[in-house]
Amino acid sequence: MSLVIPFVVAVDGPAGSGKSSVSKEVARRLDFGFLDTGAAYRALAWHVEASGIDTDDAASVISCLESFDYRIGTDPTGYSVHVGEVDVTEAIRDPQISAVVSAVARVPEVRRHLIELFRSIMAAVEAPGIVVEGRDITTVVAPDAPVRILLTASEAVRMSRRSAELTGSSVEAVGEQLRKRDAADSKVVDFMTAADGVTTVDSTELDFDQTVDAVIGVIRAAQPALAQRHDARGAQISEETP
């Protein structure tokens, strides 16, 4: 059965580029839904660890998919993540989960399972559009999205921003974490180079609001596609955004 997907804005980029915070704010301003796909990989890593399974044991990780009852909110103003009845919104950001999530994410069966899950969530959103961010969104999950963006920044800027978010962490320590995360994830997907049809937004010299405005500018430039492929309500949302 084919799924009817709303207007999709797909955002990819390296760790520390601001994908989540920028995408969430763009969705809020446009009255779109918001989907953080990385949360699913983190939640699965949490579920695997909570089940007492080694995250490096691919076969056991795959077996956990059957019991992985994952739910995520798509309202950018009311974001939450649950596994079963457990709210793991904060738990999945724990450094221990960050350290093991790449091992879970690089299992092909896991990626296939979650990609289908992401597409189902995208199709179910009630908003006229959805901003979807995470690894391989622009090339695998939503390769036909009318707006595909690679959000990036220099390594120095990404390290500085991430260290500011993590109280007590030095820029050097954060830099090492980012390099390890990018190196691990790059074994699965290429998120440093924009694929054909993907617009690069470099936020190295931009502050948060300027980056949000730049992304919204790319979306507005896609209005002809919006008008052709989606209903009038979706077009009006983009036109009326202050």
Residue numbers belonging to the annotated binding site for ATP: 13-21
Binding residue positions: 13-21
Residue 93: in which H helix or E strand, if any? none
Crossing angle of helices 108-124 and 38-50, rounded to 10°: 120
b/e sequence 214-226, b meaning 16+ C-beta within 10 Å: bbbebbeebeeeb
| 179 Cβ neighbours under 8 A, 6+ residues apart | 155
> Per DSSP, what are the bridge partners of residue 18?
none
User: Shortest CA distance to 226 belongs to which of 238, 215, 218, 217?
Assistant: 238
Which DSSP symbol is given to 195?
P
* Amino acid found at 92: I
8-state DSSP, 194:
P
> First vs last Cα of the chain: how many Å apart?
38
Residues 6+ apart with CB under 8 A from 198: 12, 138, 139, 148, 149, 150
